[in-house]
């Protein structure tokens, strides 16, 4: 039998899990369905990470000695900016652009962490290592499911579903036969 979780931490876990899923599901689905991260998602991630990077560089440390961003956090927050400026050098290093796209995807949970720590401080009440591990497992698992759902979208959606939603149908969607 495992030790029960603290109720405040359990609530924070729910909040953090849902927030991370909302922030990343569509990005992973589109990456699976279309093989790319759409510019609107990149723009949102870019401005949020750039604002968080600006905040982290201005605040650095609080009076209590807490840092808003670690050195690796600054790298994660800078990744979308480097990706968005990749047009300057992507012809010479195309493999780096692919790496940066995955890095941008990995920056989503950190951006979510920053937003939650500032706006919903109760979400930062998670101290139990088990819940932190489960949060990471949940994030990776939900995004893997989202990516696989996008890659296998024909199992879930017809091409018309995408078109009716105002999206371009992916090449792999299910094309219904019309009599």
Q: What is the pLDDT of residues 141-175, one digit of tens each?
A: 999 999 999 999 999 999 999 999 888 899 988 87
State residue 110's pLDDT score. Answer: 81
Counting residues of the chain whose pLDDT is more than 90, the rounded percentage is 20
Distance CA 39, CA 46 (A): 10
Determine contact, residues 55/85, Cβ cutoff 8 Å. no
Can you give the pLDDT at residue 178?
55
pTM of the model: 0.75
Find how far residue 114's CA is from the centre of its chain.
12
Q: Where exactly are the structural domains of the chain?
A: 7-151
Residue 148 has what pLDDT?
A: 96
Q: Residue 1: what pLDDT?
A: 47
pLDDT value at residue 30:
92
pLDDT in the model for residue 177:
57
Q: What is the arithmetic mean of pLDDT over 30-51?
A: 88
CB 72 within 8 A of CB 56: no
pLDDT at 122: 67
Name 117's Cβ contacts closer than 8 Å, sequence gap at least 6: 68, 123, 124
Lowest mean pLDDT among 11-15, 92-96, 116-120, 140-144: 116-120
């Amino acid at each position: 039998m495992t030790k029960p979780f603290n109720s405040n931490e359990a609530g924070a876990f729910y909040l953090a899990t849902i927030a991370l899923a909302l922030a990343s599901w569509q990005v992973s689905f589109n990456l699976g369905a279309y093989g790319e991260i759409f510019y609107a998602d990149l723009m949102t991630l870019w401005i949020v990470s750039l604002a968080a990077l600006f905040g982290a560089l201005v605040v650095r440390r609080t009076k209590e000695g807490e840092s808003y961003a670690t050195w690796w956090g600054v790298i994660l927050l800078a990744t979308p900016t480097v990706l968005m400026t990749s047009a300057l050098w992507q012809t010479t290093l195309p493999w780096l652009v692919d790496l940066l796209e995955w890095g941008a995807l990995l920056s989503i949970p950190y951006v979510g962490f920053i937003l939650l720590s500032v706006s919903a401080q109760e979400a930062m009440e998670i101290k139990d290592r088990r819940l932190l591990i489960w949060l990471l497992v949940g994030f990776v698992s939900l995004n893997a499911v989202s990516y696989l759902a996008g890659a296998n979208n024909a199992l879930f959606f017809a091409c018309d579903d995408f078109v009716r939603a105002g999206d371009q149908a992916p090449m792999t969607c299910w094309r219904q036969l019309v009599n």
